[in-house]
Amino acid sequence: DLLARAGLGLAPVAGALGGVLLTQLLSRGAQHTVRLLLAGVVVGVVLGAFGDLATMVAPDALRGKQAFMLGSTGFLGWTSVGLLAVGLALTLPLAWRLARVLDALTLGVDSAVSLGLALPKLRMVLVTVLALATGLAVSQAGLVAFVGLVSPHLVRRFVPATQSFTLVASAAAGGSLLLAADVLARSLIAPQELPVGVLTAVLGGGYLLWLLHRRGVA
Residue 115 — very low, low, confident or very high, per pLDDT cuts 50/70/90?
Answer: confident
Q: At residue 119, does pLDDT exceed 80?
A: no
The pLDDT value given to residue 218: 45
pTM for this entry: 0.75
CATH number for the segment(s) 1-143: 1.10.3470.10
Give the pLDDT confidence of 183-201 residue by residue, as tens digits: 998 888 878 888 888 888 8
pLDDT for the residue numbered 75: 76
- Contacts of residue 159, defined as CB under 8 A and 6 or more positions apart, other chains included, come to 165, 169
Higher confidence at residue 69 or residue 1? 69
Q: Where are the domains of the chain?
A: 1-143, 144-218
* Average pLDDT, integer, range 99-128: 80
User: What is the Rg, in whole angstroms, of the alpha carbon atoms belonging to the chain?
Assistant: 19
Residue 29: its pLDDT value, please?
Answer: 62
CB atoms within 10 A of CB 135: 22
What DSSP element (H or E) covers 182?
Answer: helix 163-188
Dihedral angle at the C-alpha atoms of 147, 11, 16, 127, nearest 10 degrees? 80
- The pLDDT value given to residue 3: 57
Q: What is the pLDDT of residue 166?
A: 86
- CA-nearest of 44, 25, 45, 50 to 35 is 25
Angle (CA) 159-160-163 rounded to 5° is 115
Q: For residue 168, what pLDDT is reported?
A: 86
Of 50, 56, 20, 26, nearest in space to 38 by CA = 26
More confident residue, 36 or 92: 92
- Least trusted range by pLDDT, from 62-66, 124-128, 175-179: 62-66
More confident residue, 75 or 172: 172
Amino acid at 179: L
Q: What is the pLDDT of residue 5?
A: 58
The pLDDT of 99-119, averaged and rounded, is 79
How far is CA 34 from its chain centroid? 20
- Tens of pLDDT along 17-39? 888 888 878 877 656 667 777 88
Please give the mean pLDDT across all residues of the chain: 81
Assess whether pLDDT exceeds 50 at residue 175. yes
Question: Rounded to whole angstroms, how far apart are CA atoms 193 and 174?
Answer: 21
Read off the pLDDT of each residue in 141-163 and give the average, rounded to a whole number. Answer: 83
Task: Provide the pLDDT for residue 82.
Answer: 84
d(C-alpha 98, C-alpha 163), whole Å: 9
